[in-house]
Structure 1
Amino acid sequence: MQSSYFSSLPEMGTDEVFDLIKAFSADKYPYRANLAAGVYCTDDGGSWPLNAVCRAESTLHHQADPTRHDYLPIAGDTQFLKVAQDLVFFFEENPQEMAIRSQERSLRVASVQTVSGTGANHIGAQFLVNHLNTNQVWVSDPTWTNHHIIWESVGKKPRLYPYYNTSNNCFDFHAMMQTLEAQARPRDTVVLHACAHNPTGLDPSKEQWMAIADMCQRKQLFPFFDLAYQGFASGDPSKDAWAIRYFYKQCPFIEMIVAQSFSKSFGLYGHRAGALHLVLADESDEIKGRAVAHLCHLLRCEISMAPKFGSMIVKTILSDQELTAIWLKDLQVMSKRIKSMRHALYHELIRLGTPGSWEHIINQIGMFSYTGLTPQEVNALRQQSHVYMLTSGRMSISGVNTKNLQYIANAIFKARQI
């Protein structure tokens, strides 16, 4: 038999999240629960197309724009990029305040449209490797798994800064600062979660963000913000972008990148709408133009241009005050349900007398909770109760609802008896 050129390919591990989703789908147990996927679900356990998105889709359908299937420019849809910039740096819920902020728009942000947040992270990483000559890349321990894969794909194996204290299930600010102060060097890139840290659900306080910004400025570190949950985390887009805006306002200017995703905050998971924003110290059109040209070069050889329909929905919503108001109400629906499930799960675990402390579940924010469950306990949840979550103990709170809450809490109680 003729051997293949690829017969010596090494084994490649699969993605745990998608493996668990597959296993859950194949499981016929009636009380199974999917706590692995980072997708918002209703209290009935189903998908939820946002009201604002449905309205925007109807508007686009009736407009029947004959150019709706045309190619975008390499850099992306200009109007989409404007509303994407405004959402990160200038958005206010009050229309009058928003108008004032928009008039104060800075010219020092170079933006391109990407394939959601993953694409923004990858294009940003490749750009920095090519042009910043970044020495080291620092990511939190733990962080979103894709951060490691993305940076390794561009030739940089990330170093870890402490983030999560396993003894008390809290954010370890002191250890993070101590490590970066001692070991980070000028031009190092520091990847930061703007809000709703994945996987821990733990964010720095405003005072801690101020200290992190001061350190980045003083040590000449390059912040790389991953913004995946703006508006979804707290229900307030301005609040969730606070850290980025604080960094942005510093003087001397702090140069940085923001990788922006619209998957969670608009429920556009499959449409892959995203943007990358490069914040520059130089306000000249020439430098910004050069930066966009280099980013476009990377986009051209990777995707040519980003998907169109998701960005059309986003710009339709954010360009219309009525649709924006509906979207803000949608954010409240999602964020409030997540918060209510956190409190309900906490109180049920306490009622059952589940061993351990569970306050961290209600102190965390956003889609995920780092439960503190061990790999052995997580395995017991899968094998005994058909409850699926990551081996790390990361739980998607969105998978919890009023119908399965008691079952999940009982499953955790039983797993803790092992």
Structure 2
Amino acid sequence: MAGDTYSFGEYELDMARYQLRRAGEPVHVEPRALDLLHYLIEHRDRVVSKNELLDRIWGDRFVSEAALTTGLRTARLAIGDTMRQQRLIRTVHRRGYQFAAPVTVARSGQATGSRRGPGDRTGATAAGLSGADQQIVRFCRADDGTRIAYATVGSGPPLLKAANWMTHLDLEWTTPVWSHWLNGLARNRQLVRYDERGCGLSDWEVPSFSFDDWVDDLETVVEALGLDRFPLLGVSQGGAVAVAYAVRRPERVSRLILAGAYARGRQVRARNQAERDEAALDLDLARVGWAHQDPSFLGVFAAQFLPEGTPEELEEFTGFQRRTTSPANAVRFLEEFAKIDVSAIAHRVQCPTLILHSRDDVRVPLSQASELATLIPDSQLVLLDSRNHLLTAAEPAWAEFLSQIDTFLVA
């Protein structure tokens, strides 16, 4: 029932709060995956077919079986299960799926506030938002005519996320690469984000493709939304874009959050010939790997972002790469990333700044976070216990990441 709490192993699924917990601590999970988990647990006495899950969880909205596969993968990851182990969610060949673990049910009384059951797609919940069908996607045009897609989701004070590569405003909701980011960041606020020129729903064929264009595109989105003053989040190379914009428009950026960010790209920060050669080789490999969509290269590339990712997460990441941009644009992005340099202007950031970085980040070394913290006057550096460049929903660092942001924005 809607208000029941289901306990299995060290997990609790509390439907009164619409929350999954592990050992008493909240586990952030995409709402559709939570609905899938709830439905399978409710009907654990039988095998549930794919068609039934698609009908009850997505309702009248047409989606492919790929959406169901992604949702089940996300649910499994959230409860420590995998396709290979299937200790909790079992695949029954040609029939469907069944929740296989013992479950204890605690009944609850009538609760207050918003409630959702399987198939209910509207409204916000305490645990997050219902996903892509809740966001509003619009388009604006940069000065050179490039069409930029931007989206808003959630309600409350705004948080603007500067674009970074490998995003897609629509597909992000159904991939474990980004779905938990969107739901976590949109809790109790309006999350604004956009796709960079060259990827996602924005134009892929563009007249110009430079760092200054990226900063201009951020400003274009701000103007289209009519935002006055707001906190700004920059992830990975989006951090440098956010720094540049905060310097350009100090009257608009109230607070700055940098996650996995850097001031100088790999070519710029190379200290000797060996590091310059290594940076050049990295680009050469990228040109060949992306041009031919070489699976071995894309797998290695994915592992740089998610070294602690499961095989399923790495497979999803690789597939997501292919759908977000063209091979030619992927190379253009990587070439521009290597040349980024905001080290000469970072000291001009005037707002309080929170720098979050995985302690053992494989893609962007910790030295880059330390450099940003040294350059930006009113900044604080928080190190997270992870090796991942993009944090996953299941790792403890993710909850810490969200907690740090929440505390910083209300301080």
The bucket for the TM-score relative to the shorter chain is under 0.3
Q: Which has the higher helix share?
A: 1
After TM superposition, the score normalised by the length of structure 1 is 0.27
TM-score by length of 2: 0.27
User: Normalized per residue, which structure has more strand?
Assistant: 2
Relative contact order: is structure 1 or structure 2 higher (C-alpha 8 Å, sep ≥ 6)? 1
